[in-house]
Amino acid sequence: MNPDILKERQNATFDVEKLTNILDGGPEKTKRRREIESMVLSDPDFKEEDPNFLSRSERYDQAVRKSALMILKLREYGIADPEEIYCYKNSVHPDRPEPLDLHLGMFLPTLLNQATPEQMDRFFMPAWNLEIIGTYAQTEMGHGTHLRGLETTATYDPATQEFVLNSPTISSIKWWPGGLGKTSNHAVVLAQLHTQGNNHGLHAFLVQIRDMNTHLPLPGIVVGDIGPKFGFVEVDNGFLKLENVRIPRENMLMKYAKVEPDGTYLKPPSAKLTYGTMVFVRSMIVGESARALSKACTIVIRYSAVRHQSEIHAGEPEPQILDYQTQQYKLFPLLATAYAFHFVSQYMKETYHRISGDISGGDFSELPELHALAAGLKAFTTWVTNAGIEVCRMSCGGHGYSHSSALPNIYVDFTPACTYEGENTVMMLQTARYLVKCYRQAKAGQRLSGIVSYLNEADHQSVRPQPVAAGTASVDINDLASLVEIYKLRAAILIELAAKSIQQELQHKSQEEAWNANAIDLVRASDAHCHYVVVKLFTEKVGEIENTEIHSVLSDLALLYALHGITNNSGDFLQAGLLRVPQVLQISGRIKQLLSQLRPNAVALVDSFDFNDRKLNSVLGRYDGNVYEHMFEWARRSPLNNTEVHESFHKYLKPLRSKL
């Protein structure tokens, strides 16, 4: 054990294990998670070559081998709980995307949610047993988040009782679905449904794309891999062109909408029925944001504790880089953010489970708010995490650029989350649409409930933007409840300003033009709403903690998160008269104090995330802190070192001598 990291752990003021239990949701959850992790990590069948030293084809091959084994072992151990399956899968492919992701995460859930009992009988068990390997083919070359713009067609032919699927244009070719390139033999294809001369919009169709024995593409199917990407190296993201592909009428997923044998269309009872899956997936992404940022913080903070550089005092030993205030200012707010996102993820998961019962019972009353919140928080957390991982990488200096640090891989595999499951700017505008609607309802005298209930107070003088001179703001910057209040008022003011601006534009513009003319303000309002929710939930979680030492350190983190957010958005708070300039200066000083207060617990706080070294897969973030020995060992394993002299020397460099 590196003596620096040992000393860090001895300096901690709280019990790391107890904080790990809080993050996991209780001691039993921690115990079970570790059991599942050790099942995988101690299993020789899952031993792998370091992916960093493999070609793309080798990485894909290794990922498919491990995924196939994973399915067998899950059955063998009888692991059936969705959370436990997710935990097992995350240990097999440590937070790395893999070829069966869409089969497990989208194809099977789509069958569960949208197939009739007869379709479940036909398709679910073969899919569960991986005879059918599916993907979810929604995105096209020309359209992604704008679903109404998708061009693939499914035209019903009553004479044969079949749907005829086509990709009518180059831009309608399905593009990006994971597992489509080489792995899947079926796809849920999203297509515009045409019957009896009418277009009824997007519906889901189950299409076989490859032969069940030879795995060759079927007639009319043009399918393949889209080529190398920024990350997702193990995943065969694919393309799919459909040329008059006929499928039986019964292959349209008909739990809600139906097409009768004669072509009559029966519409679904509620347009909101498909929202549930979207909300669930976006809630999961909030959890992935928390995990990715926690990993990056673990690596950089442990490394900063063992890395010594430069001088603070002349002639004295080089200090740990974690002792530099600038390093703390880069990292500790991100550490606070990782904790905030963990607690927001817990809230989203609990809320989803609470209302999913209502949804199945036909009660959709809470769904619009959760849908808007999930969209906004998906965007808010992924944007912040994406930028944060890169700050962590750069804070490791040159070594952060090496794949041995794991930070480049964490970044490239996380960054698509800003785009998939709803492009972030579009998500923020969706949330804004809901917020403006709520604001208008409140103005019309309706009482709002839930997380947007603060808009009921929109008529209060306190939420009027005021010139700073007139401001009489008295905010206790050490009181979290007081900070939650001004975050709430900031959100209310920005929503009100955007809504009023749209109202003015509507006097001489259409609804769409007015909306687009205020889109920047609308995104800002959504961002402020999400920021308020995160500060509020973090504060509420801190209030629930009974252990004095943990309560103290989490209070410091929550305060740092809230105050750092104010300094980054000080213009909003000043313009609205919620703070005055002397208070903003006071906040800067308080942040510096918090950095010093958190310094002794920094390593213990990342230890509490409890990432196993094998799952972290980072030379810089090792638990024992023995970075340099293992960095040298890792570099020696590079394939370029397999021979002392590379063949290129004899082919090109040596002959060059005689030519010059």
Query: Across-strand partners of 259?
Result: 265
Taking the CA of residue 471 as centre, how many other CA atoms within 13 Å lie in the half-sphere pointing to its CB? 20
359 phi, psi to nearest 5 deg: -60, -45
Q: What DSSP designation does 157 have?
A: E
CA atoms of 277 and 100, how far apart (whole Å): 18
Contact between 179 and 236 (Cβ < 8 Å): yes
Contact between 180 and 237 (Cβ < 8 Å): yes
Closest CA to 10 of 18, 2, 19, 22: 2
Closest CA to 239 of 169, 339, 156, 137: 137
Strands 186-195 and 198-208: antiparallel
Contact between 94 and 36 (Cβ < 8 Å): no
Contact between 329 and 602 (Cβ < 8 Å): no
Closest CA to 345 of 375, 381, 298, 372: 381
Crossing angle, helix 519-544 and helix 480-505, to 10 degrees? 160
240 phi, psi to nearest 5 deg: -145, 120
Contact between 66 and 48 (Cβ < 8 Å): yes
- Could you count the other beta carbons within 10 Å of the beta carbon of residue 309? 13
Tokens (6 digits) for 377: 């928080």
Longest dimension (CA), the chain: 91
Q: Which of 288, 421, 485, 496 is catalytic?
A: 421
- Amino acid, single-letter form, for residue 464: R
Catalytic annotation on 421? yes
CA atoms of 4 and 426, how far apart (whole Å): 46
User: Alpha-carbon Rg of the chain, whole angstroms?
Assistant: 27
Taking the CA of residue 410 as centre, how many other CA atoms within 13 Å lie in the half-sphere pointing to its CB? 35
Q: Which residues contact 393 (CB under 8 A, 6 or more apart)?
A: 296, 300, 400, 401, 405, 407, 408, 411
Q: What is the helix (H) or strand (E) element at residue 376, kind and residue range? A: helix 367-394
CA atoms of 177 and 139, how far apart (whole Å): 7
Contact between 385 and 334 (Cβ < 8 Å): no
Catalytic residues: 421
